[in-house]
Chains A and B, each alone.
Chain A
């Protein structure tokens, strides 16, 4: 046990990373990041493809060696104490797979034997909603069912923290929601979950804390709502209207207004602005429709922060 672990125990930090770096040749995949995850928290590491998320999570899992930095997971050095650490963590690696001709039930029993745990396979299968396909070969399972099996296997050893690396990538919306349900039930059980994802709705819905990573650095860190109010936080009024309304609004109010494809969007600065704008439009007598008020989401924050990213790559 190092000094780090006693600090981590005091602060109830289950993951503690300081100045972590990792390069592949000339490319800096992770460039001096700090991360802290508390016990019982769902933590999401967000970022576009190639941001360094998988490298970071693999270093935390002890699958890759860091170039430098202080890393402690459950008070252990993941690379040096990897064997001990693996008994206490659960992982679904990116692109989780299993033997093609084994069933989910056999897979759970195999993991239970490897970990030397007595496991009620039935209970785990039920938890991830795989009872109906418990005797079907892995090769015939759908993408969502395969990921759910990954989740079940990650739970076999009653891990203290689960690392889920893009668990819903490539799944249809229904399968994604059913994975979310499992993660939510893990959260209710008090498990710590370290999630990497590039789906912002997923992170916003599940996470207590979020870190946004880009080009190997953490560019924002905090609760999803805190981040939204810090980096976004604006409310936008949108309506369908013609040129005349657009000119009226730009002349009357000192607020950013855009008109695109017949949709006018005004970013509000304070809540009184809303009433004033509606009054002005009403008194002008100009026709309008589709009035709605939109709040910034994590996605807006993400797009603002990652800036150069194309929207298409985010979801």
Chain B
């Protein structure tokens, strides 16, 4: 290994990357866009409250009081709609999937100790229907208890596993760092090694004193730097803009370094063993896309079916994201080290395979 040659190759590659508008975009702009996008979707104002359109026809005060209580739960945001002939038609016309109708006799019925009925309109296909129905039921139950002068015997107090109560954005940051560590080397190296092989550029480089190992090292070095920059940009954006609470521990760096090494090698392996640029692209995508979505990048594995969550364990990215989450969010050293050991092991296997399969020259 000659450091001067590695540096020369690194310089020419870096220049090529940054002079390409797409390269610059993917290296520095894309990670920030990702965090802005997902941060805005999941950590925005309203705290994920569900909008319910309400028509209050009650002539007494209890209807209004009921709707105010619903609003105070925080889970539901009540929007009043003007009185109209047919409430279901109104909802349909405006494509509103959740609606609540309080009848004109609501207060009167309660005062006269008759059953008062609230009608809840919902779209069964909408995943928020269950939540709305649950919240409305709970509020109605509370009203029932109060009006009958009873009190609840069981109360629930909710506490987070983590003292600081991590939010979605806290999990999103390690997920998206993992996403960058995977995608920027994979997409680029698959294409680059297939193309260099086809255009005989590898052969041309082999005619210089640059070695295979030096060439690969300069690529790894570049992608480590890109991942570090993306890590800094994403963490800063997440922290300052969305109030994410993540820790930057020294354990983050081995994950970024080994992750880059792993995916540069994997990309090169795919580009080297496939016969054409097109088939390299297809195989690359077959490997990258499932790994990207199933490793806990954008959403936690716990929401997936059990078998799918188990399947995620075959992906190297899963251990990178889990390890980063363990150290950045939970500060769980034992789990971090376990994940790091797996990443290191996979890294050795894949990079040895890649270097073995990668030929400068032909037999």
The closest CB in chain A to the CB of B2 belongs to A116
- Of residues 82 through 130 on chain A, the ones whose CB sits less than 8 Å from some CB of chain B are 82-83, 86-87, 89, 91, 93-97, 99-102, 106, 110-111, 113-116
Q: With A and B bound together, what is the CA distance between A106 and B8 in angstroms? A: 10
Query: By the criterion CB–CB under 8 Å, are B208 and A93 in contact?
Result: no
A63 pairs with B16, CB closer than 8 A: no
- Count chain A residues whose beta carbon lies closer than 8 angstroms to a beta carbon of B: 29
Q: Does B19 contact A (CB under 8 A)?
A: yes
Say which residue of A63, A65, A113, A115 sits within 8 Å of B203 (CB atoms).
A63
Complex contact B5–A113 (CB within 8 A): yes
- Interface positions, chain A 40-66, Cβ under 8 Å from B, are 58, 61-65
Q: Are B208 and A86 in contact (CB under 8 A)?
A: yes
Instruction: Please report the C-alpha to C-alpha distance between residue A143 and residue B12 in the assembled complex, in whole angstroms.
Output: 22
Determine which of A94, A95, A101, A106 lies in contact with B20 in the assembled complex, contact meaning CB atoms within 8 Å.
Answer: A101
Q: Does residue B201 face the partner (Cβ distance < 8 Å to A)?
A: yes
For the complex, what is the distance from the CA of A111 to the CA of B208, rounded to whole Å?
8
User: How far does the Cβ of A291 sit from chain B's closest Cβ, in whole Å?
Assistant: 51
Closest approach, in angstroms, between the C-beta of A169 and any C-beta of chain B?
A: 14
Q: How far is the CA of A100 from the CA of B8 in the complex (A)?
A: 16
- A113-B9 Cα distance, complex, nearest whole Å: 9
A86 and B206 within 8 A (CB)? yes
Tell me the residues in window 98-117 of chain B with beta carbons closer than 8 Å to chain A beta carbons.
none
A58 to B360, CA, bound (A): 13
Partner of A95, one of B199, B206, B207, B361: B199
Is A63's CB under 8 angstroms from B20's CB? no
Q: At the interface, yes or no: B310 with Cβ under 8 Å from chain A? A: no
What residues on A are CB-neighbors of B9 within 8 Å?
110, 114
Choose among A82, A106, A113, A137 the residue that contacts B4 (Cβ–Cβ < 8 A): A113
Cβ of A157 to closest chain B Cβ, rounded Å: 8
Instruction: Determine whether the beta carbon of A95 is less than 8 Å from that of B209.
Output: no
Flag whether B159 is at the interface (Cβ < 8 A).
no
The distance in angstroms between the C-alpha atoms of A62 and B360, with both chains bound, is: 11
Report how many residues on chain B are interfacial, defined by Cβ distance under 8 Å: 26
Whether A106 contacts B361 by the Cβ 8 Å rule is no
Quote the shortest CB–CB distance from A27 to chain B (angstroms). Answer: 15
Q: Is the CB of B15 within 8 A of A102?
A: yes
* B20, closest chain A residue (CB): A101
- Whether a CB of chain A sits under 8 angstroms from the CB of B165 is no
Q: How far is the CA of A94 from the CA of B20 in the complex (A)?
A: 26
Q: Which of B199-216 contact A (CB under 8 A)?
A: 199-201, 203-204, 206-211
Residues A110 and B8 in contact, CB atoms below 8 Å apart: yes
CB–CB A91/B363 < 8 A: no
Whole-angstrom distance between the Cβ of A21 and the nearest chain B Cβ: 14
B306 at the A interface (CB under 8 A): no
A106 lies within 8 A of B15 (CB): yes
CB distance from A135 to the nearest CB of B (A): 13
CA distance A113 to B207 in the complex (A): 14
Q: With an 8 A cutoff between CB atoms, is B362 at the interface?
A: yes
- Residue in B20, B201, B210, B362 whose beta carbon sits within 8 Å of that of A114 in the complex: B210
Closest Cβ of chain A to B152, distance in Å, is 70
Tell me the bound Cα distance from A62 to B363 in angstroms.
10
Chain B 337-363 per-residue mask, 1 if CB under 8 angstroms from chain A, else 0: 000000000000000000000000111
Question: A93-B204, A95-B200, A113-B4 given. 5 additional CB < 8 A pairs?
Answer: A63-B203, A99-B13, A101-B16, A102-B12, A114-B210
Give me the 7 closest cross-chain CB pairs, A-B, nearest first.
A113-B8, A101-B19, A114-B208, A99-B16, A91-B207, A110-B12, A65-B363
- A residues sitting closer than 8 Å to B (CB atoms) are 58, 61-65, 82-83, 86-87, 89, 91, 93-97, 99-102, 106, 110-111, 113-116, 137
| 28 residue pairs bridging A and B, Cβ less than 8 Å apart | A62-B361, A82-B206, A86-B207, A86-B208, A86-B209, A87-B209, A89-B207, A91-B207, A93-B207, A96-B204, A99-B15, A99-B16, A100-B16, A101-B16, A101-B19, A102-B12, A102-B16, A106-B12, A110-B8, A110-B11, A110-B12, A111-B208, A113-B4, A113-B7, A114-B5, A114-B208, A114-B209, A114-B210
